[in-house]
Amino acid sequence: MINIAVQALAVVGFLLLVSLCYRLLSFIWFYRLRRTSVQQYLHDDSSAYALITGASDGIGRAVAQELYDKGFNLIIHGRNEDKVRGVAEDLRARGSQDVQYFIADAENSGHDFAQLIKPLKRLNVTLVVHNVGGTIMSRERHAHPSSPHIPYTMIDGLSEADLQSIVTRNAFFPLFLTRALLPQLRLSAISGPVLVQFVGSQTADIAPPRLPVYSASKAFLRALARGLDNDERFWGAPTGVRFAYLALGEVRTHTHDSAHSATSPSAESLAQALVARIGCGKRAYTPYMWHAILQWLLGFLPETTVDDYAAEAMAEVFARRKKAA
């Protein structure tokens, strides 16, 4: 009897070891060995466009640069026309591909999305990176760039319009833009693969204090990506338009002034990792290796410990902002 129990334990141990080795090897392959397959979205005739929202600064701008350098024509989006035009000119100076842009404040509701993308209707869009997003703080920072200390507030300290603007920027804007683009994307998918990516955040899993609405909006994107992907694949011939959700940890940008560390890369490093993993076939993943390691480690901790850790990290952000003010 004891012998059987020992043998059963040995088998379970062996299976656990195999599974651990498999996960470790998959991790190494994904982050260190796998070669990028982003070129598949260039199709054959070099007419392919990548559309990136929130591309006048931060991660979006760095992603636009990476994709331009990989040979994509670009459609970039932002809210400040002078700034977006300047970024478009800088991009064009890097090569010979086309760069177009459109302007829309993603916090405002009521856009006529069909009208917004009308000038882009004939373009072969093969890649969409829904990058625009952020917390209430980035909105305040944009409105008051000279006052870096923005108080984080609980939801009853924010107006309904403030709360709505967070959800609109992070969730509804990408949803409605995707809806308007879909027929065009399905046409592009006839000649090759097409991918729509939603830039999410690890806060969707952790939901730190003072960011519940932002975190919930990012969680919305995760379900949306999977649901839309299934929509395009089932109950009819698959259209070839695929969707993915990207979970990002801290990235140093002008709206997120975290200290330099392995888990807090520059927008450029993050963009390199993001573009390198485009086309990996996963529907939800963490493009930057150190963010993935952090996420994995947090997975071993009890939820209450993660909550304490997140609250402490947020307190550090408050303190840093206060000092900078």
Whole-number minimum distance, CB 201 to ligand NAP, in Å?
A: 4
Compare residues 16 and 311 and give the one whose CB is closer to ligand NAP: 311
Of 195, 207, 89, nearest in space to 155 by CA: 207
Task: Give the number of other Cβ atoms within 10 Å of residue 266's Cβ.
Answer: 14
- Return all residues near 276 (Cβ < 8 A) that are at least 6 apart: 36, 38, 287
When asked if residue 287 is in the footprint of ligand NAP (CB under 6 A), the reply is no
Of 122, 78, 124, 80, nearest in space to 101 by CA: 78
Residue from the set 251, 275, 276, 278 that interacts with ligand NAP by CB under 6 A: 251
Using the contact rule CB under 6 A, the part of the chain among 18-26, 126-134, 174-182, 226-234 near ligand NAP is 126-134
Using the contact rule CB under 6 A, the part of the chain among 49-57, 205-213, 297-305, 316-324 near ligand NAP is 49-57
When asked if residue 132 is in the footprint of ligand NAP (CB under 6 A), the reply is yes
Whole-number minimum distance, CB 16 to ligand NAP, in Å?
A: 33
Of 111, 176, 114, 168, nearest in space to 139 by CA: 168
Whole-number minimum distance, CB 233 to ligand NAP, in Å?
A: 26
When asked if residue 199 is in the footprint of ligand NAP (CB under 6 A), the reply is yes
When asked if residue 201 is in the footprint of ligand NAP (CB under 6 A), the reply is yes
DSSP 211-251: -HHHHHHHHHHHHHHHHHHHHHHSSSS--SEEEEEEEE---
When asked if residue 57 is in the footprint of ligand NAP (CB under 6 A), the reply is yes
Residue from the set 38, 48, 50, 60 that interacts with ligand NAP by CB under 6 A: 60
Residue from the set 50, 66, 73, 78 that interacts with ligand NAP by CB under 6 A: 78
The alpha helices in the chain, defined as continuous H runs, are 2-28, 58-69, 81-92, 113-116, 136-143, 160-167, 173-188, 203-206, 212-233, 267-276, 289-298, 303-324
- Stretch 80-99 residues interacting with ligand NAP (CB under 6 A): 80, 83
Whole-number minimum distance, CB 249 to ligand NAP, in Å?
A: 6
The type of residue at 186 is: R
User: Under a CB-based contact definition with an 8 Å cutoff, are residues 259 and 213 in contact?
Assistant: no
Chain residues that interact with ligand NAP, rule: CB under 6 A? 54-60, 78-80, 83, 105-107, 131-134, 138, 142, 169, 199, 201, 248, 250-251, 253-256, 267
